Amino acid sequence: MVLFIGQLAAAPAHAQAVWDEVSGGDPGSGMVALTFDAGSVDGPAFSILDTLRARQLRVTFFLTGQWVESYPDVARQVSLDGHELSNHTYYHPDLTTLPTSQIVWELDYTNGIIQSRLGRSSKPWFRPPFGARNQRVLDIARQLGYRSIYWTLDSGDWRNNATAAGVRARVLNNVAAGDIVVHHVAAYATAEALPDILDTIQARGLRIVTISQLLGLAPVSS
């Protein structure tokens, strides 16, 4: 670990000219990637999983190591249902405020937890908590084998005054092919709105997929 941190610190500042980040896919794909961030609270996670399972849908979950440890049963169900597992750090910090060694630990330690508890790696995707990132954060993540996944459309379910009607309207009034939509497993507004969101998106002829499927890195089931 110490050697790798030293290698990161020695990397030239100009190693990457542009942010190595994804915030959307091909608008011609006919696909929408739904993503769910799991921070520190489980909330209605089982309800969300039930809704996805009833429609035989697999999406991408960004898991913190702390969440996986705190809610092993629901974390295991996420994995058993075949959803894509991705990294959301351990403590859900603002990575731009941390030294290199702590960023490395946040991602590496979380990946170890996900691998040991759920049997799969969280690579290659990660999402920075709060969407807080800069070139340094993304360069470190990239050298650890991760690519940042931002979003095209924020459901707004994290707001204190979020309602199911508001989340439903925000998503369905704006979603389009190629979009990455962010929700949160702790959001009751999302859990309530999700059946209608899923059914309406599919009724429009769009396919709900994982990040890897949206980017053409995994097959899309028929």
**The pLDDT value given to residue 19:** 55
Burial tier of 185 (Cβ tally within 10 Å: 0-12, 13-18, 19+): buried
Burial tier of 140 (Cβ tally within 10 Å: 0-12, 13-18, 19+): buried
**pLDDT above 90 for 120:** yes
Residues 133 and 151 sit within 8 Å (Cβ to Cβ):
no
Question: H-helix or E-strand containing 182?
Answer: strand 180-184
Question: H-helix or E-strand containing 138?
Answer: helix 135-143
Q: What is the pLDDT of residues 91-106, one digit of tens each?
A: 999 999 999 999 999 9
Token pair recorded at residue 127: 């999402």
Residues 6+ apart with CB under 8 A from 53: 81
Average pLDDT of 70-98?
A: 98
Assigned superfamily of 18-201:
Glycoside hydrolase/deacetylase (3.20.20.370)
Segments making up each domain of the chain, as ranges: 18-201
Beta bridge partners of 21: 148
**pLDDT above 90 for 54:** yes
Residues 23 and 31 sit within 8 Å (Cβ to Cβ):
no
**The pLDDT value given to residue 40:** 85
Average pLDDT of 63-79?
A: 98
Cα–Cα distance for residue pair 49/1, rounded to 1 Å: 36
Q: What is the pLDDT of residues 127-177, one digit of tens each?
A: 999 999 999 999 999 999 999 999 999 999 999 999 999 999 999 999 999
**pLDDT above 60 for 8:** no
